[in-house]
Amino acid sequence: MQYKKFYEYAPLLILGAVLFFFANNMNYLREIFRITQPVLWGVAISYIMNPVCTFFMQKTNWRWSLNILVGYLLFFIIIAGFIFLVIPIIGENLADLIKSLPSIARAIRDMLIEIEKDLSAGPLAPLVKQLNLGSYIELGFSKIGGLLNGISKLVLVFFKGLSQFILGLIISIYMLLNKESIKQKVFRFLRVRFTDERERAVGDFIRKADRTFGGFLSGKLLDSLIIGIIAFFGFLVLKAPYPLLLALIVGVTNIIPYFGPLIGGVPVVFIVMFVDVKLAVYVAIFIFALQQLDGYYIGPKILGESIGVSPFWVILGVVIGGGFYGVVGMVLGVPTLALINSEFDDYLERREKLIVSKENEPG
């Protein structure tokens, strides 16, 4: 059992080494990530579209290129439907919200000024005077212009991301067209570079990574779509303002594991609160109930055992991934850590079997 001590501390040592490497190369890695974003989009889209094209391949006798054409036509129809049916409504909701911001801010300012006057007339008058709440209220009101400027910057970021997505879409088509060629090159490299045993091990790792990432990403997207649809109908029933915009926020942020519901729920409640405080309470209760339904029933039913790690590893994956690569890192950090954890468990199991077999060898 001479390796026992090493086994106990190995996960921390490996994690520390990985974090040290990333910390020392952060700017370099971020630059690589920025440059290769269209390629990463291409990999992600081809990864999602591959099962669709394979499904058509199994159901028809068409050539692979024709199945890709049908798969992407279906994809474009869905995107076009979203653009022509959903985007205009979201745009109207967003425009109404931006238009309402100054009046909402004035209403909040007037309410806070009234509260300040009431407090100034009571026993807390010295404290209110010392805190100078009026200046903070005016400062907060002046920030509305900055908020509008921030929204315009967000629109620019969106269109930049859209251009990278379109480029990634083109890359994904070429990746799928050359799928067999890419696969052959990978396995040729494995045969040349590794022994038969190592080749099998690397092949097993690739298949495990495919199951982990594929199961998690496809499951999480479906889960978030269902949550977004339920949220939309829930907001309609509650007569919440901007129901489609709010449902989109809830659905998209739900893709982020663990913290996504909180990240999406808080701004939704605040937006509704500006319109109707009582309604905001009902919306908060509805979102909380929806999160519980997702956490205890919908999520486990869809995702199943695709991840199979404890909440600790999920939180760690979100925090580390988000720290390095933002929202994308938050999403991919969980299956990455799940894969590392699974590989390390397999390694420990192999080493323990080897140690036991050596100990049982005759003298």
Domain boundaries, the chain: 37-177
CA distance 147 to 142: 9
Segment 250-281, tens digit of pLDDT: 988 888 877 778 888 888 888 888 778 788 89
Q: CB of 240 within 8 A of CB of 262?
A: no
Give percent above pLDDT 90 in the chain.
Answer: 6
Taking residue 222's Cβ as centre, other Cβ atoms within 10 Å add up to 13
Q: Among candidates 72, 104, 55, which has minimal Cα distance to 175?
A: 72
- For residue 231, the model assigns a pLDDT of 92
- For residue 344, the model assigns a pLDDT of 80
- For residue 54, the model assigns a pLDDT of 83
- For residue 286, the model assigns a pLDDT of 93
CA distance 361 to 363: 6
Q: CB of 250 within 8 A of CB of 226?
A: no
- For residue 297, the model assigns a pLDDT of 81
CA distance 186 to 210: 15
**For the chain, how many residues are written?**
363
Mean pLDDT of 215-233: 87
Highest mean pLDDT among 76-90, 115-129, 213-227: 213-227
DSSP string, 33-54: HHHTHHHHHHHHHHHHHHHHHH
Q: Quick one: CA dihedral 47, 51, 57, 62, positive or negative?
A: negative
Segment 336-358, tens digit of pLDDT: 888 888 888 877 887 777 777 77
Q: Which has more confidence, 171 or 126?
A: 171
Q: CB of 205 within 8 A of CB of 343?
A: yes
- For residue 314, the model assigns a pLDDT of 75
Segment 280-313, tens digit of pLDDT: 899 999 999 998 888 778 877 776 655 666 677 7
To the question of pTM greater than 0.85 for the whole model, the response is no
64 Cβ partners below 8 Å, 6+ apart? Answer: 53, 57, 177, 179, 180
CA distance 172 to 52: 13
Of the listed ranges 54-63, 71-80, 190-199, 335-344, the least confidently predicted one is 190-199
Question: 63 burial class (0-12, 13-18, 19+ CB within 10 angstroms)?
Answer: exposed
- For residue 237, the model assigns a pLDDT of 93
Q: Among candidates 239, 228, 238, 236, which has minimal Cα distance to 290?
A: 228
CA distance 50 to 69: 12
Of the listed ranges 23-27, 85-89, 105-109, 273-277, the least confidently predicted one is 23-27
- For residue 1, the model assigns a pLDDT of 47
Q: What angle do CA 183, 205, 24 make, to 5 degrees?
A: 100
- For residue 78, the model assigns a pLDDT of 80
* End-to-end CA gap in the chain: 17
